[in-house]
Amino acid sequence: MGASRLKPLTVKEIQKLTATPPSTIKHRSLGGVPGFVLVHTPAGYTGYGLIYRAGGERKKLTLGSTKMLSLGEARKLAGQFRAKVEAGYDPHGERLEKRRQELEQRRLEEQRLKLDVERMYAKYMDLVGSQLRSRREKERIFRMYILPYVQGLCVTEIMKNHALEAIDALVARGRRPMADKVRQEGSAFFEWLIERDHVDRNVFGRIRKMKNVKTIRRRVLSDQEVRAISHASETEGRWSCWIKLLILTGCRNMEVRGASWSEFDFEARLWTIPAERYKNGLPHTIYLTDAILEVLDAVPRFKDVDLLFPAVGNANNPMSGDQKMKDRIDKLVRKSMAEAGAPEPDNWCVHDFRRTIATGLQRLGFRPDIADQVIGHVGSTRRGAGVHYLHHGYDEERKQALEVWSQHIIKVIRGDDEGQQGSGAREQ
C-alpha cells in the first residue's frame, strides 16, 4: 500500500480545523493513508471517510463519525480498506452488495410470511368458503390431513412430494375416500393460488383419483361423544328435541323430522311410522319409553298443525337447516371434548346414530337380530326364503331393547357411565 505524501494530522489540529462549521461540505485530507479524509458538514457533523477510484469512478467510503471512532481507529480502518482497493476490490461496492443482499433477504422473509400456507388458506376460506355449508369440514380436512405436512412453509415452497405424503399416509391406513377428499381440497386450494399468481402450478393437480374399493362406514359414536352432542344441542330449541329423538329411537333423519302428531298413540305408548314414510315400505312401530315421552313433551305444539317440527312460515313442510345447526353443535362438541382432554372427534353425521344404537344394543347384551329390528332393518334372518315365512314382529323384544337403551342414554347424558365406553369406532 502506497503511503500518503501528506503529513498525518493530529487530534488537536483536527479540533482546530472543525471548530467552525463550513458553509459547504468539506473533505480535509488527514494524511497517513492515501485518500483518508475528514468529512465536515455545515450542520456540524464530523466523520472519517476514504476517497478512492474504482472502475474509473471516484468513490467515497464512509468509515464512521468522530464520536464513534478515534483518529487512530479510523486511520487503521482506512488503511485496511485502502489495501483492498489496491488489491482490486471495491469496498463501497461490497458494502452496497451486502446491503442489497440484506434488503433482498428481508423482502423474501416478508414475502414468505405473507404467503405462509396457514395464512393463505385462512384467506382462501374467507373469500371462497364463507358461504359454503361444508366450510367447517373443509377446514377440518386441511388442518388434520394436509397441514401436518406443509406447516411453516410458504405456498411457493410446497412441492408435489408434500401432497403425495399427505395422500399416501391415508391410503396406507386404508382411508381411500378421505385420501381422495384431501386430493380434491388441496387441488381446489392451489387452483385459487394460481388464479392470484401466487404459485405457478397445482401440486395436487396431476395426482390420479383414488380407486375406491367399496367400504362400509363404521363410525360409531362413543358415550362421551353422545353426551357432548346432547349437551351442545340444548341451546337449539326444537332441534335439540330432534337430536334426542334420533339418539333414543335410531330412526332416520326425515322419519323424525317429518313425523306427525297423528302417528302417535300415547295411550298405547306407540309411534307408528306409516309405510309410505318408511324405507322398507312397511309400517314400523316404536315403543315410547319414558325418556322418549319426556322429549316429546318438550316439543312445542301449534294449533291446527300436525307436524312435530313444522318449518317456520310453512306449517305443511318439515323444518330445514339441519346442516347449519349441526355445524353449530360441532363447534361446541369439539370445544367440550378439548376441555375434557379427549381427542378431537372425527366427523359424524346424524345417520351414525343408527349405527350407534345398533352397536350399543349388542354391547348391552341384545342379539344382532333384535338390534336390527329396533332400527327397522330387515335383517339377515328375513332374507331369501325367510322373507316369505318369518313374520314375527319382535314387539316385546324391541320394547325391552328400547327401555334398556333409554336407561343407558339417560346415564350417559348425566355422566353416570363415565368411562364405560372409550373412543368411538372410526371410519375405515
**φ, ψ at 50 (rounded to 5°):** -130, 120
Task: Kindly state the greatest CA–CA separation across the chain.
Answer: 125
Exposure string (b/e) for 358-391, b if CB count within 10 Å is 16 or more? bbbbeeeebeebbbbbbbbbebeebeeeeeeeee
pLDDT digits 0-9 by tens, 300-310: 999 999 999 99
309, 322 contact by CB (below 8 A): no
> What is the pLDDT, as a whole number, of residue 273?
94
272, 259 contact by CB (below 8 A): no
81, 59 contact by CB (below 8 A): no
pLDDT digits 0-9 by tens, 239-284: 999 999 999 999 999 999 999 999 999 999 999 999 899 887 889 9
pLDDT digits 0-9 by tens, 98-109: 777 777 777 767
- Terminal-to-terminal C-alpha distance of the chain: 79
Does 132 have pLDDT greater than 80? no
Average pLDDT, the chain: 85
341 C-beta neighbours (distance < 10 Å), count:
6
Does 136 have pLDDT greater than 90? no
Q: Is 365 left (phi over 0), alpha (psi -120 to 50) or beta?
A: left
Q: Is the dihedral of CA 169, 172, 178, 180 positive or negative?
A: positive
Helix (H) or strand (E) holding 195: helix 176-195
**Cα–Cα–Cα angle for 203, 208, 211, rounded to 5 degrees:** 145
| Pairing, β 46-54 against β 284-287 | unpaired
Angle between helices 290-298 and 238-249 (to 10 degrees): 160
What's the predicted TM-score (pTM) here? 0.54
Q: pLDDT class for 220, splitting at 50, 70, 90?
A: very high
> What is the pLDDT, as a whole number, of residue 420?
46
Instruction: List C-alpha distances in Å: 267 to 53, 270, 278, 300.
Output: 109, 8, 23, 20
> What is the pLDDT, as a whole number, of residue 194?
94
For the segment 380-408, the average pLDDT, to the nearest whole number, is 72
Which domains can be identified in the chain, with CATH numbers?
Answer: 11-106 (3.30.160.390), 117-195 (1.10.150.130), 223-414 (1.10.443.10)
Does 427 have pLDDT greater than 60? no
Q: Which of 2, 185, 145 is nearest to 83 (CA)?
A: 2
Share of the chain above pLDDT 70, in %: 88
32, 2 contact by CB (below 8 A): no
Does 14 have pLDDT greater than 60? yes
> The cell 399416501 sits on which residue?
168
Residue type, 298: A
Q: Give dist(CA 12, CA 64) in Å, integer.
A: 19
Grid cell, residue 217, equals 362406514
Grid cell, residue 58, equals 471516484
> What is the pLDDT, as a whole number, of residue 388?
42
Exposure string (b/e) for 160-176, b if CB count within 10 Å is 16 or more? eebbbebbeebeeeebb
Which residues is 37 bridged to in the sheet?
Answer: 29, 49
> What is the pLDDT, as a whole number, of residue 426?
36
Does 421 have pLDDT greater than 60? no
217, 348 contact by CB (below 8 A): no
